[in-house]
Amino acid sequence: MIRKYVVKIGKESFEVEVDEIQTQAAAPNFQPNVIIPPKVITAPLPTPKPKMPHSVARQKSPTGGKTINAMMSGSIIAVLVKEGDEVKENDAVVKLEAMKMETIVNSPFAGKVKEVLVSERQTVTAGDMLVVIE
């Protein structure tokens, strides 16, 4: 498309024809190559959580015998055995409440209840001894 213009330089006037070659500016053919070095971030290693004690720790109690321990923290709702009772493997010995959930603690071995170390409404923490079996 040809356009006509009048250009004035000083006292003289000039008639100029301008031919439009391209309607849009060409985008530069430029591919930047930017390399950003990676940041090295040092994070502390997570400390391993202590293993939750199993409900039964086959350890000797101070008075002799094997102990049944609390597997989690909570409150004792009921003690289901008394000293002198005979228990078989998997018999319920204590009912524990933790986070509004009731959990039955079972004996992992057969034997005679030597000592009951907890009472109802008592608060226990994970690993506390509950009952001693001989």
pLDDT value for 41: 80
Averages of pLDDT over each 10 residues, the chain, 134 residues: 85 86 67 80 76 47 80 94 93 93 92 93 92 92
pLDDT value for 2: 82
pLDDT value for 77: 95
**Domain-wise residue ranges, the chain:** 66-133
Question: What is the SS3 assignment for the chain?
Answer: CEEEEEEEECCEEEEEEEECCCCCCCCCCCCCCCCCCCCCCCCCCCCCCCCCCCCCCCCECCCCCEEEECCCCEEEEEECCCCCCEECCCCEEEEEEECCEEEEEECCCCEEEEEECCCCCCEECCCCEEEEEC
66-133: what CATH class?
A: mainly beta
pLDDT value for 64: 72
pTM score, whole prediction? 0.54
